[in-house]
Structure 1
Amino acid sequence: MMMMMEWKWYLWFIRMAVMLLVLERCSWCTTDACLEHERIALLHLKPFFNYGNQLQSWVEVKGSDCCKWERVECNTTTRRLIQLSLNSTKWEDNMEYVMDNRNLNAWYLNASMFLPFEELKRLYLSGNVIGGSLENEDGTQLRLTNLEVLDLSGNLFRNNTISFLQGLSSLKSLTLYGNDL
């Protein structure tokens, strides 16, 4: 009877050791990819910032690691998006034409598309011919509480369209040159 209990204890110990070894080596058991809802939010942004197919790495493959996509940077620990560099992705080839005809090609950006990125610290949107305020779809102010750097240079903002800045309480650096201010 004692020998049987020792044998069961030994088998249990071996199973636990093997399971721990598998978990340690198992790449699919851990979360090394970006969060799924942030990946989906990036894919919703893609059509607005993919002029000339610049965002080829942004693919609609479930489980694709958006932290490895071009123009995206994530926190290495939390895997949350912390930087988004979408500068000059909208009208790069037509920028001279747009600057000469400033009101013809301006577009309005629904800022609520950035809300899933709760840890976003740096957002670069320069040179994209954005012509309206960065308010949410419902008209409320943009609330990115961790945003520290915002580059909106080279767009078509006017004096009356920058009221959204009031909702950016952590902002340390704001670039607005090259607008209609």
Structure 2
Amino acid sequence: MRKAFFTISFLIFLSLPILSLSSPVCNKDDEKVLFKIKESLGNPYHLASWQKSSDCCTWYCIKCDLKTSRIIALTIFQGNISGQIPNAVGDLPFLQTLIFRKLTNLRGTIPLAISKLTHLTLLDLSWTNLTGPVPSFLSKLKNLEYLDLSFNDLTGSIPPELASLTKLEDIHLDRNKLTGVIPDSFGYFKGRTPNLHLSHNQLTGTIPKSLGYLNFSSIDFSRNKLTGDISMFFGPNKTTTFADFSRNSFEFNMSKVVVPASLTWLDLNHNKIFGSLPKPLTGLSLQYLNVSYNKLCGHIPNGGNLQHFTSNEYSHNTCLCGSPLPACK
């Protein structure tokens, strides 16, 4: 949660104009590109500060490098903007941050021109009405650390090429209409293991066993059509803090699971999980737990935070009992 707050605060900071006595002088080539972008978007009021009468490094939604005067961030969000992402964005060669966020009238596909932005570390095209596939050409962005394409209407399969991005720390493809399987290549990230959020899609099949070799800090596969055994994501050597596998058709023996000591959020509701709840759950600092609508049996272990949750989080299991459910017979 703290990371999400930091991310939003960071985005807001990037949207502010740079007002400083030592502000750089705008590069004229970059200025020309910005005017093309503004024109492609229909000269919206949101970009009213983009005028020749002022230096482009002071414009709203723009950030320049203090030493080179080149534009390194274009952050457009929560404005009345229509149309498509302009191809001209690919002509800002020093861009490190590109954000088009919460623009519900922004449509079309993700343009190939973005693949030219080889310095890009953050790409956020979320909460828009973008369509088409998650493009495989994003794998050309070798410096990318944060990728957010969530809350769109993207279709097709997840490109396995994304696993070649060695600097990725976060992948958000949730809240789209993606189909197919989770690529096996996602078990072979060469850099650090990224936080992986694929929820609210139409993904099918079993989870590749290769993913079990990785140590995800945050993982969310909820609300898909996935099947099989996901117990490989648990274990004594894992440092997972957030895990949401709810509303799929996962099936495994919960009683044999060794839960990571780091886990604070676990949602397994609406699956086909059987067995009993392991006693070590009482040793976790759980902020949230939901195992409802499964096939669990046995006594809910006493201790820790397990009795702090309501009966709703344990309901609709085969024969689970004990506080906060009715006593075992």
* TM-score, normalization by structure 1: 0.62
Q: Which of residues 84, 90, 108 in structure 2 aligns to 1:115?
A: 90
Query: Structure 1, unaligned stretches of length 5 or more?
Result: 1-30, 92-104
Partner of 1:130: 107
Please provide the CA RMSD for this pair: 2.3
Deviating above 3 A after TM superposition, structure 1's stretches of 4 or more consecutive aligned residues are none
**Over residues 75-102 of structure 1, what are the superposed CA-to-partner deviations in whole Å (9 max), with x where a residue is unaligned?**
10111101111123344xxxxxxxxxxx
Higher RCO, 1 vs 2 (CA within 8 Å, ≥6 residues apart): 1
CA contact (8 A) 2:95 2:119 kept: yes
Counterpart residue type for residue 38 of structure 2: K
Secondary structure of residue in 2 paired with 1:57 = coil
Match of 1:40 among 32, 49, 53: 32
* DSSP 3-state at the match of 1:86: strand
CA distance in 1, matches of 2:89, 2:100: 12
Amino acid at match of 1:73: K
Q: Deviations over 1:118-138 (max 9, x none)?
A: 2111111112323212223xx
Structure with greater helix share of residues: 1
Per the normalisation by structure 2, the TM-score is 0.36
Q: Is residue 85 of structure 1 aligned with residue 75 of structure 2?
A: yes
Letter in 1 for 2:63: E
List aligned pairs for 1:55-66, cutoff 5 A. 55-61=47-53, 64-66=54-56
| Partner Cα distance (1:170, 1:178) in 2 | 24
CA distance in structure 2 between the aligned counterparts of 1:122 and 1:37, rounded to whole angstroms? 18
CA distance in 2, matches of 1:49, 1:170: 31
Kindly, what percent of the aligned residue pairs are identical? 28
> 2:145 aligned with 1:153, yes or no?
no
Contact conserved, 1:71 with 1:85, CA < 8 A, in 2?
A: yes
Contact 1:87 1:126 in 2 (8 A): yes
Matched residues, number: 129
